[in-house]
Structure 1
């Protein structure tokens, strides 16, 4: 049976024909519905939901007859919280209405304020519409076309981890039950095995299904085993880590003609790649998901000649001496490079509560786990953390979960979270911030069902029902593979530039700003001591390290 098309609801009391004409180009893939008022649009949305359909977007004129448009969006969101919300203001009132409406963008009351097209082929308008629909499709809708198909009887920890990896890599995927028609067909093509097949079974783009026992196996299946890839020459730059810093370094180094290799043990994008929506990144006025930002940067670097090796874990670095290249040790062989950029970023700090750790992947997640967000519909969930990543995760989860509680040990989130996120959270009725609180216990029958929360002021503990616990607890460096010659601070972050103690300087001057204590080895992004821990800052450091690499490779320039 063909699934019903998702709906776009046009709320146009004064210019219905103009707006309907513009959205005619979407009629093949979306059901275009019209309404003339807030009440009528709310009823249309309720009718779609009652028949099991989805509303992808509300498009409203800036002036409605029965409510302020921002209040209208609030009402519609209570019916369909996942829909994107767009104001298309008529040219005659666009400038007049803008001052009173634009402030609502900062609080997340709607997603875009656009000028209603005045003629044909207004591609700027439709670019914004397509971006919003693309974001909706990647986070809400079940993909119509899949790159990877999985077969699993239940959404266990491994299946969810595999899906999260695929989502972060921008690869549409679906899970099928073993007794479904598709599931039976995929399992039937497995290589014979003793007993029942183990799950999950993964069928990638080559059409050959395999049983997997780890996310790394999936990465190798799609991108190649480490032993299948040979780097038989000395490259100019080897970048370890494909987060924002590593990706920026790859783009700039390869675009300037340096032979560049990037090694990433997990998904491209790093911690930033798990962010559902980054709204304060330069050049993206409507925001951009971490996945899309990472995949665009990856494609940009590939265009300039960068080679990406996904699923490679770097286990050691042997510094070159007397002009010899550095050697990176990996699971599948060695990579020799004239210079190395360490951009491995950070990992989320563990909560270290045994009962919580036992349920990781079974309702407990480190990071925003965008894939898991879709599984929280109708549940009460908890986000632990007071940084921007926690705020972004809470806002995304609120599209699905019945309620979202942000727990922080501090007495406020204003000191650690960007103002735009604080404002958006305060406006969202599904999100509550609970200060001076910490999770001390958790439990459930096979998966998370409850958490115990302690008030750090009084010491009292309260048990509450919880269908999902998302832990975004701050940063721990990911550089245990580095040799002792690379000096780090007391917390394990790599020291660079003037932060390097004078006794480790080579001569009377400190290393260059992003240079480590090993000549030819540089550090950029969150792994570096004193870094800002922001996506834009990491990208900037990744770009800034390339001139230093040039200076090292060609000291006469």
Structure 2
């Protein structure tokens, strides 16, 4: 791990209150070592303090305000002004005890629309760790998404527009590994070159505790960082035995299966060709997941679940793409094969999720990795600063991406083929989008063309009702177009629907039922093989639903492994 001592001014936290600035300053003093605390007695003064900080080269990490201000009793209006100055800063209301309950009703609706991030009670004593837990969570989220890391684990060196380098950077971000991407002729690029042969290609990936590699795919990097010699020896020893459950896919469904299976004593492995978290792992902020009132990023949710599963003994194989599943004969173990591995498992949970459907417009596909991206690619958000961005899709993933990108981009246009977002997107996201002045929605519209000199510069949008086509500037195009399963690795014995999703329970064709009875709810047409999450036909396509299915698959696995105990 290499540290890069920062010479930039410390980030600023602005504390605004007409009568409690001393209290706020005292409460936030523990952050003064790494943040510049600045106080203001009013909304206007906070604007002046912010403008001064920006002029001095500071970043503003957070605005903290009393629930009322002398010149702006409605602090939501104050947030609108501050958001215009610094859209990336986190926003926090800290209400004094005597007004905490009375001011809450008029302010909480603003939090639901994304006008600010948290409503907290002003501490009345020392060591209010619940309060500080909320603050540090918000500062951590700001630091991860809005700034370059001070401590870098990996360095990626590649020429501009290198598609694999972008994929590797996104992989590191999703795995929670701080990284920096630089060009070959930079100071860091020249330093990294010393660790490679003179004629080595790109992208070059270097870390102090790993062998330097020239990556041809994300899989190369995943194997290098997560498949150590010690782990290989352990897995080779374990490979002689048959595991109880092999989970294919590390999204919410697969992670939930791993946690519950391993916690109940089943030997459990998770195989995933890419980063843990699946599509959910790319979400900048999931606000409707149970137990996270301020929301949680998909990356953090996935990493917490992975650590939880590891604690119970789950073995993760990141970068292991399953290419074939051979169903066991007469109750025998199933066989999972990849290009360089073979694993036997008494049961298999298929939780491989879905990919985003491709647009299929040749001019758009030609610019993938050079301004055009499938998925949210949150690692690129800072590069969209002061640019025009287009997000295509009407689901929650598209809404989350639009809200996050609006912190950086000058404008975000959401393109959707339906007449409105409300048909497919959660109401809380629709409300956030309607409130945000940087986001506009183009209903009944589709992308039909794109172009630029070496990278994306414009897109062409067609109105599906009038047929009119218009061109608009775009530096980034993010395509989140719905679900497309990839189940070609499954054997023919596993029944799929006409769209390629795995059939389970009563949806399995009757001619595949055993003794005239349908399989259990999450069981496939092959005994001992189960399916959970987005890859399953009829699933809800929500993180919480996928997590529930993953957990619910474990009792079925138990019943299959020990039928006498069922």
Q: Note if contact 2:210-2:225 (Cα within 8 Å) is conserved in structure 1.
A: no
Residue of structure 2 aligned with 1:189, choices 170, 192, 195: 195
Alignment match, 1:291: 299
> In structure 1, how many angstroms separate the alpha carbons of the residues matched to 2:326 and 2:392?
38
Show CA shifts across 1:83-122 (max 9, x none): 0000000011000000000010110000000001010000
Alignment match, 1:90: 96
SS in 2 for 1:432: strand
Change (3 A) 1:208 1:333: closer
The reply to whether residue 202 of structure 1 matches residue 202 of structure 2 is no
> In structure 2, how many angstroms separate the alpha carbons of the residues matched to 1:97 and 1:500?
54
**Size of the alignment, in residue pairs?**
554
Show CA shifts across 1:239-291 (max 9, x none): 00000000000000000000000000010000000000000000000000000
> In structure 2, how many angstroms separate the alpha carbons of the residues matched to 1:93 and 1:52?
36
> In structure 1, how many angstroms separate the alpha carbons of the residues matched to 2:208 and 2:49?
39
Alignment match, 1:219: 222
SS in 1 for 2:18: coil
Give how far 1:222 is off.
0.6
> In structure 2, how many angstroms separate the alpha carbons of the residues matched to 1:221 and 1:51?
42
Give how far 1:200 is off.
2.1
Residue of structure 1 aligned with 2:51, choices 46, 62, 65: 46
> In structure 2, how many angstroms separate the alpha carbons of the residues matched to 1:390 and 1:303?
33
Give how far 1:394 is off.
0.2
Alignment match, 2:67: 62
Give how far 1:320 is off.
0.6
Residue of structure 2 aligned with 1:398, choices 396, 403, 406: 406
Show CA shifts across 1:472-517 (max 9, x none): 1110112111011000111011000011121110112100000000
TM-score by length of 2: 0.96
Structure 2, gaps ≥5 residues long: 1-5
> In structure 1, how many angstroms separate the alpha carbons of the residues matched to 2:184 and 2:56?
27
Q: Note if contact 2:210-2:224 (Cα within 8 Å) is conserved in structure 1.
A: no
Alignment match, 2:521: 513
Runs of 4+ in 1 over 4 A off after TM superposition: 225-229
> In structure 2, how many angstroms separate the alpha carbons of the residues matched to 1:221 and 1:263?
16
> In structure 2, how many angstroms separate the alpha carbons of the residues matched to 1:66 and 1:156?
51
Give how far 1:127 is off.
0.3
Give how far 1:154 is off.
2.6
Alignment match, 2:274: 266
Give how far 1:204 is off.
2.5
Show CA shifts across 1:317-373 (max 9, x none): 111112320000112121100000000001101100011011111100111110111
Alignment match, 1:19: 24
SS in 1 for 2:323: strand
Residues 149-168 of structure 1: pairs in structure 2 closer than 5 A: 149-168=155-174
> In structure 1, how many angstroms separate the alpha carbons of the residues matched to 2:476 and 2:189?
28
Q: Note if contact 1:316-1:330 (Cα within 8 Å) is conserved in structure 2.
A: yes
Alignment match, 1:71: 77
Alignment match, 2:564: 556
Show CA shifts across 1:425-459 (max 9, x none): 00000000110100000011111000000000111
SS in 2 for 1:492: coil
Choose 146-155 or 290-299, whichever is displaced more. 146-155
Residues 216-365 of structure 1: pairs in structure 2 closer than 5 A: 216-224=219-227, 229-230=235-236, 231-365=239-373
> In structure 1, how many angstroms separate the alpha carbons of the residues matched to 2:163 and 2:387?
18
Give how far 1:232 is off.
2.5
